[in-house]
Amino acid sequence: DSKSAGAAGSTAILLVEDEFLVRLFAVDALEDAGFRVLQAQTAAEALQVLRGAPDVQAAVIDMGLPDRPGDQVAAEIQALRPGLPIVIASGRSGRELHERFAGQSRVAVLVKPYTAELLVGALAEVGVAP
């Protein structure tokens, strides 16, 4: 399914998710919506991908990564690319994350399990469209 995967000019999203099935679902949802998706399974991989991909326009980060918590990765990404819109996906209560990122208009919280519509909606919330 590569109808939009390599389309020039499409919005590039960095997806950081270590669970295979969740990553597969999210990639499909984002590509179906018209995004181009770059994938990482760990925080270290995410930062490496981001350094090599200046066209990334947003990141979707899972809270439960194997090497560091997602909110820490978000902070590292914000240090590398200030102002980059970020969606934090978590299976835990959204409230503590909403509080943690309160006042940051470029950060949205997405509670797992999520639908394709909620994922695309969270990106729209931080100003990112395909």
When comparing pLDDT for 6 and 106, which is higher? 106
Q: What is the pTM of this model?
A: 0.90
* pLDDT, tens digit, 9 for 90 and up, residues 24-46: 999 999 999 999 999 999 999 99
* pLDDT, tens digit, 9 for 90 and up, residues 44-80: 999 999 999 999 999 999 999 999 999 999 999 999 9
pLDDT at 92: 79
- CA 119 – CA 121 distance, rounded (Å): 5
Q: Is 6 exposed, middle or buried (0-12, 13-18, 19+ CB in 10 A)?
A: exposed
Q: For tokens 């990122």, what's the residue?
A: 101
What does the angle CA 100 – CA 47 – CA 14 come to, to the nearest 5 degrees?
Answer: 75
Residue 9's pLDDT band, with cuts at 50, 70 and 90, is low
* pLDDT, tens digit, 9 for 90 and up, residues 77-115: 999 999 999 999 998 776 787 787 878 889 999 999 999
pLDDT at 101: 80
Does 2 score more than 70 pLDDT?
A: no
